[in-house]
Amino acid sequence: MTDTAALLERIEQLEKRAQAAEDYRDLVNLQGAYGYYVDKGLWDEAAQLFAEAGTLEIAGRGVYAGRARVREYLRHLPPYGHGTIYNHMQLQPVLHIDSAAGTAKGRWRTLMMVGFLGREGRWGEATYENEYVREQGRWRIARLHGIINFYCEYDEGWHRGGVKLLRSIEGLAPDRPPSIEYEAFPESVIAPFHYDEV
Amino acid sequence: MTDTAALLERIEQLEKRAQAAEDYRDLVNLQGAYGYYVDKGLWDEAAQLFAEAGTLEIAGRGVYAGRARVREYLRHLPPYGHGTIYNHMQLQPVLHIDSAAGTAKGRWRTLMMVGFLGREGRWGEATYENEYVREQGRWRIARLHGIINFYCEYDEGWHRGGVKLLRSIEGLAPDRPPSIEYEAFPESVIAPFHYDEV
Amino acid sequence: MTDTAALLERIEQLEKRAQAAEDYRDLVNLQGAYGYYVDKGLWDEAAQLFAEAGTLEIAGRGVYAGRARVREYLRHLPPYGHGTIYNHMQLQPVLHIDSAAGTAKGRWRTLMMVGFLGREGRWGEATYENEYVREQGRWRIARLHGIINFYCEYDEGWHRGGVKLLRSIEGLAPDRPPSIEYEAFPESVIAPFHYDEV
């Protein structure tokens, strides 16, 4: 006869594995939603995807710490509207989830198409090394760290050299200095990996 | 001692959660397959991915209702062959699935590379807000709604203004008018979201 | 009263389904990791993602068989460094997994941005039809087959014709001839599908 305690143990394991599968879908949705909000300058909606203590660090501009500061940072970016393209496609997840702990790490990339009618058109591409936390039952961004691989003028392409990083947001100093020092293309940069093995 | 009815209830819950995980993979495969078929002008194969009553609405051209009409629409597009590029990359899913009901909604985007040798080369990008239904045990597209964010000439880029939407397919009137009115870049457009929260 | 054997059977089924969900996440991570390594010329790390007997075939250059030969192939590519862009975005999975057998097939695409400062800038796009195997408890690439849809000069775009395939790696003959014969854009090419139905 099968031991009920053994069955129960297997069911408990299955419940943990079911949770991990749901966590995966939630995290892919979360990062995708971030991209759709950023595309359209929906800054408050994007900020809501961060944990209460979540941090944002992009393009060597330093760390903005806490959801309120993330919102402030985002609101300093140009508004979406007529003549604006601000596409940030969220691509290629490599996700490692500790479901029991309610934490996760993810490598992603974004392909960027940025433009202002009659004034500027740029391609860009960045690697994210992000962290996530389950907070009040929902996955939230604990750390968004975007390392820019390149920006270039549409009219020039990447092979004539890139656009140097803009290392600060006018009128909004970060809470902490950048966590890594680098320059984008034509310099080489390899965003640190959160994993050794897959 | 553990109650068998309680164990059974947990097993039933796990079976529902396992189904949802399979649904997720099937839906990602489905939308991906749609893109690969469209890339190569495999119109009948693409149409087979739609539900019997599935609808297609792209670029403000109105709604084509039912799989037969979807197929007719697709067959009116230029054929794939020598000198043609018709890439429709399917990217960035935000999926919400009601597994028990056999319905789902998904936000996706497509990055498009369209071209005809010696004649036309264009970038484009669109947001999809799609619906899905499980029909005879298989997930099918119940509604494909593509909202174009921009088209531009490769030689111009997006910053010099986009290409206006072509609002009809020659010789093929839609079954219903467009569900939303908009113009692509340089006008601003935000595809409605099927979700408030992720 | 519920039969314990029936409960046990349902639990065993659930364990198989949980495994399949984990396999899916592992495979998406695996292919994503491959792309991030290739981006940065981390050839040994990329080669480690192949099975012991894994094969690599790209752009009609023939088949390189076995992990050691895959590594050798990759090491013949230009190194990553100052002035180099080698982006290989891994996109749009259609995955079919036989979890019990420990085998899987996947259709993917890569959007490529390749460049050398002051010398060359190219867009490219390819379809992969890959196979995977679970080896010593880890998913590995059993076959990577990349079929190039197009390469073009950034300064020309795809509508003025593409760049012909470079059909060999200097100084490194393949182990087997190409498995399919084709030419990229402006010729038409449809990578064989590993599936009839999704």
Nearest to A93 by CA among A105, A82, A81: A105
CA distance linking residue A89 with residue B68, whole number of Å: 33
Which chain C residues are within 8 Å of A1, Cβ to Cβ?
Answer: 4
Q: What is the pLDDT of residues A69-108, one digit of tens each?
A: 999 999 999 999 999 999 999 999 999 999 999 999 999 9
H or E element, residue C58? strand C50-58
- Chain B residues touching chain C at CB-CB below 8 Å: 4-5, 7-8, 11, 14-15, 18, 21-22, 25-26, 28-30, 32-33, 35-36, 39-40, 42, 49, 80-85, 87, 89-91, 111, 113, 115-121, 138, 154-155
Residue whose structure tokens are 């010593």: C136
Ranges of residues in chain B with a pLDDT under 70 are 1-2
With contact defined as beta carbons under 8 Å apart, do B92 and B106 qualify?
A: no
Residue whose structure tokens are 């230029």: B78
Q: What is the pLDDT of residues A106-139, one digit of tens each?
A: 999 999 999 999 999 999 999 999 999 999 999 9
pLDDT average, residue stretch C154-168: 94
Q: What is the pLDDT of residues C93-115, one digit of tens each?
A: 999 999 999 999 999 999 999 99
Q: What is the pLDDT of residues C114-153, one digit of tens each?
A: 999 999 999 999 999 999 999 999 999 999 999 999 999 9
Which chain A residues are within 8 Å of B24, Cβ to Cβ?
Answer: 21, 25
Are C158 and B36 an interchain contact pair (Cβ–Cβ within 8 Å)?
no
**3-state class of A197 per DSSP?**
coil
Instruction: Identify the pLDDT of residue B118.
Output: 97
Instruction: Identify the pLDDT of residue C198.
Output: 86
Are A36 and B7 an interchain contact pair (Cβ–Cβ within 8 Å)?
no
Are A94 and C32 an interchain contact pair (Cβ–Cβ within 8 Å)?
yes
CA distance linking residue A30 with residue B135, whole number of Å: 28
Q: Is the pLDDT of residue C15 over 80?
A: yes
Q: Tell me which amino acid residue B41 is.
A: G
Out of B111, B157, B198, closest to residue A29 by CB:
B198
- Pseudo-torsion of CA A86, A92, A96, A101, nearest 10°? 30
- Count of beta carbons in the 10 Å neighbourhood of residue B173: 9
Instruction: Identify the pLDDT of residue B146.
Output: 98
Residue A96: closest C-alpha in chain C: C29
- Chain B neighbours, 3+ Cβ pairs < 8 A: A, C
CA distance linking residue A87 with residue C164, whole number of Å: 31
Out of A1, A111, A157, closest to residue C89 by CB:
A111
Are C89 and A91 an interchain contact pair (Cβ–Cβ within 8 Å)?
yes
Residue whose structure tokens are 């195997």: C133
How close does chain B come to A177, measured CA to CA in Å? 31
Instruction: Identify the pLDDT of residue C4.
Output: 84
With contact defined as beta carbons under 8 Å apart, do C147 and C181 qualify?
A: no
Instruction: Identify the pLDDT of residue C1.
Output: 47
Out of A40, A87, A117, closest to residue B125 by CB:
A87
The rounded percent of chain C whose pLDDT value lies above 70 is 99
- Chain C residues touching chain B at CB-CB below 8 Å: 1-2, 7, 10-11, 14, 17-18, 20-21, 24, 91-96, 107, 109, 111, 125, 127, 149-150, 157-161, 185-188, 190, 193, 195, 197-198
- Long-range contacts formed by B141-144: CB under 8 A, 24+ apart: B141/B30, B141/B31, B141/B34, B141/B49, B141/B50, B141/B51, B141/B54, B142/B50, B142/B51, B142/B53, B142/B54, B142/B55, B142/B103, B143/B54, B143/B55, B143/B57, B144/B34, B144/B50, B144/B54, B144/B55, B144/B56, B144/B57, B144/B58
Q: Is the pLDDT of residue A57 over 80?
A: yes
Which chain B residues are within 8 Å of A26, Cβ to Cβ?
Answer: 198
Are B186 and A80 an interchain contact pair (Cβ–Cβ within 8 Å)?
no
Instruction: Identify the pLDDT of residue A88.
Output: 98
Q: Which two tokens stand for residue C198?
A: 């999704």
Are B40 and C190 an interchain contact pair (Cβ–Cβ within 8 Å)?
yes
Out of C80, C91, C113, closest to residue A188 by CB:
C80
Instruction: Identify the pLDDT of residue A92.
Output: 98
- Chain A neighbours, 3+ Cβ pairs < 8 A: B, C
Side-chain half-sphere exposure of A122, counting CA atoms within 13 A: 18
Q: Is the pLDDT of residue A2 over 70?
A: no
C13, C29, C80: best mutation site toward chain A, by most A Cβ within 10 Å?
A: C29
pLDDT average, residue stretch C158-162: 95
Are C160 and B121 an interchain contact pair (Cβ–Cβ within 8 Å)?
yes
Q: Is the pLDDT of residue C88 over 60?
A: yes
pTM (two decimals): 0.97
